[in-house]
Structure 1
Amino acid sequence: MSTEGTKGSPSGITIGFSILTHFLLVAPVIYILVLAFSNYHFFSWHPICMSIGVGLLVTEAVFSVSGEAYIASKLPRRSRVTIHWILHTIGLSIIGIGFIIIIVNKVNHNKAHFATTHAQLGLVTIILSFLTASFGILANNTVWIYPRVRPVLVKVAHACGGIGILVLLLATLINGTYSHWWPGTETGRDLVFASLFFAGFLILVKPILGTFSRCRVVFGPPSSET
């Protein structure tokens, strides 16, 4: 059996890094879910869907494809890419449900749509998220456009877009905790902010460095031949 693209056994540092990152993601999501169910009404499904879709699934999709998640680190690149798009598909579907719920809730209460910073940021982020995901299909099937477009250009563009989208999704989720809905304490809200912020930082370190390295190769001066 081929082991191409697989890694050796992860080090203790890698395992610790993965555990810490997942804790920083899971803890605030559980807290938001507890608050949402303890003050349950139809609107509660909006923060429930968004926290699960963003805080657990989309973030895990990015973390897995980078190979830093403990389980994904044992898998070949092709398998990690498969996990990446499956988690993204499920996550974006749940986010889409959360978006529909807030639209219906606004209609039911005869309230203006996209009248707050959170709503406007969320709308832009969701649109860009689905566009980036659609572009990801192309990045995973570059044979469709080769040789008209170099595959590496498509992959770099998708990686840059994905990094930006994850930042926007986490920013929108955090911003939602500063809305009138928030039933938790200020300390709890600050801890959610800090936890998601540092988790996002840890998840994006490797993708940012990898994308920067690729950009230097793609857009840098051609190497001289000896």
Structure 2
Amino acid sequence: MPSDVEYSPVGEGLGMRDFWLYVWMRRAAVIAAHVTGLGLTVVISLLSRPGTSLFSWHPVCMSAAYCLCLTEGILLFSAEGSPFCFKSRKGKVRLHWFCQALVLIAAATGLGFMVASKNVSERPHLATWHSLLGTCTLAATALQAACGICVIFPKLLRLSSSSPARLKLYHATCGLVVYLLATVTVMSAMFSDWFQATVKGAAWWTFFLLPLFPALVVMNQITNAYLPRKKLTS
């Protein structure tokens, strides 16, 4: 990657900041993504009735990890509609790390409850597409966290002076892959016997499509923030 390529936040190079309608639409979209992530977490937690079984804690932990914490950890860098817009860059990075640590803790806890539930019921592991996708998502999350450590501590890991900039780009790109994997995994959960027995009809389609909205907002934020300025102005 050429060293003279600069990265532009959303709208720069396109003159989009001059259009108030565009700015307000983006702000509304980011706020709606926050609400969607929180709403999905709350509703899924209520539907799972935590405490009624070992499995009941799995949807709670996983929705908290990926629908809420992962979404907030990415959207806090958004300039439009983020409740943390008053924070400094350093403060946002620390809060991002805190959110990602919660993702790892909640995801590991949810995995533990699922494994325990399968063992108690003597059902096979990795027998569905949802479980396979979930395993891939967990592995990608762990790798993404390792990449984040490289971004934060380049000198400690003896990386070259040109590596941090590229690592930030790779970190953001891998983060997008993790988020899209998590979105597909959440959507595949809608096809599970438990969810289809709990939610039916139009409500099922609503739950199935809702995770796509914050995914589109996150994808737009990352791709625009790390798109080379030269390509934007060409």
Normalising by structure 2, we get a TM-score of 0.80
Q: Does 1:64 align with 2:79?
A: no
What percent of counterpart residues are identical? 23
Q: Structure 1 residue aligned with 2:200, among 176, 179, 185?
A: 185
Q: Does 1:24 align with 2:57?
A: no
Quick check: 2:55–2:114 contact (8 Å CA) kept in 1? yes
Q: Deviations 1:40-68 (Å, cap 9, x if unpaired)?
A: 32211001111111111111001113444
Normalising by structure 1, we get a TM-score of 0.83
Q: CA deviation at 1:78?
A: 1.2
5 Å-filtered alignment, 1:32-51, equals 32-37=44-49, 40-51=52-63
Which residue number corresponds to residue 15 of structure 2?
none
Q: Does 1:202 align with 2:217?
A: yes
Shift of the 65–143 alpha-carbon distance from structure 1 to 2, 3 Å rule, reads farther
Gaps of 5+ in 2: 1-22
Quick check: 1:14–1:70 contact (8 Å CA) kept in 2? no
Q: CA deviation at 1:149?
A: 4.9
Which residue number corresponds to residue 166 of structure 1?
179
Q: Does 1:124 align with 2:104?
A: no
State the aligned residue count: 207
Quick check: 1:92–1:130 contact (8 Å CA) kept in 2? yes
Shift of the 141–58 alpha-carbon distance from structure 1 to 2, 3 Å rule, reads same
Q: CA deviation at 1:147?
A: 2.5
Which residue number corresponds to residue 80 of structure 1?
92
Quick check: 1:156–1:215 contact (8 Å CA) kept in 2? no
Q: CA deviation at 1:146?
A: 3.8
Paired with 1:40 and 1:15, the residues of 2 have a C-alpha distance of 39
Paired with 1:214 and 1:193, the residues of 2 have a C-alpha distance of 36
Paired with 2:153 and 2:206, the residues of 1 have a C-alpha distance of 40
Shift of the 66–19 alpha-carbon distance from structure 1 to 2, 3 Å rule, reads closer
Q: CA deviation at 1:98?
A: 0.3
Q: Structure 2 residue aligned with 1:112, among 124, 137, 146?
A: 124
Higher relative contact order at CA 8 Å, sep ≥6: structure 1 or structure 2?
Answer: 2
Q: CA deviation at 1:148?
A: 6.0
Paired with 1:137 and 1:38, the residues of 2 have a C-alpha distance of 33
Paired with 1:184 and 1:38, the residues of 2 have a C-alpha distance of 17
Quick check: 2:73–2:96 contact (8 Å CA) kept in 1? yes
Letter in 2 for 1:186: G
Letter in 1 for 2:193: H
Q: Deviations 1:130-166 (Å, cap 9, x if unpaired)?
A: 1111110111222233426521111111111000001
Gaps of 5+ in 1: 1-10, 218-226
Paired with 1:92 and 1:169, the residues of 2 have a C-alpha distance of 13
How large is the Cα RMSD of the aligned pairs?
A: 2.3
Q: Structure 2 residue aligned with 1:154, among 167, 176, 186?
A: 167
Paired with 2:220 and 2:152, the residues of 1 have a C-alpha distance of 22
Which residue number corresponds to residue 18 of structure 2?
none
Which residue number corresponds to residue 100 of structure 1?
112
Paired with 2:43 and 2:108, the residues of 1 have a C-alpha distance of 22
Once structures 1 and 2 are overlaid, which stretch shifts more, 82-91 or 177-186?
A: 177-186
Identify, as 1 or 2, the structure richer in helix: 1
Which residue number corresponds to residue 12 of structure 2?
none
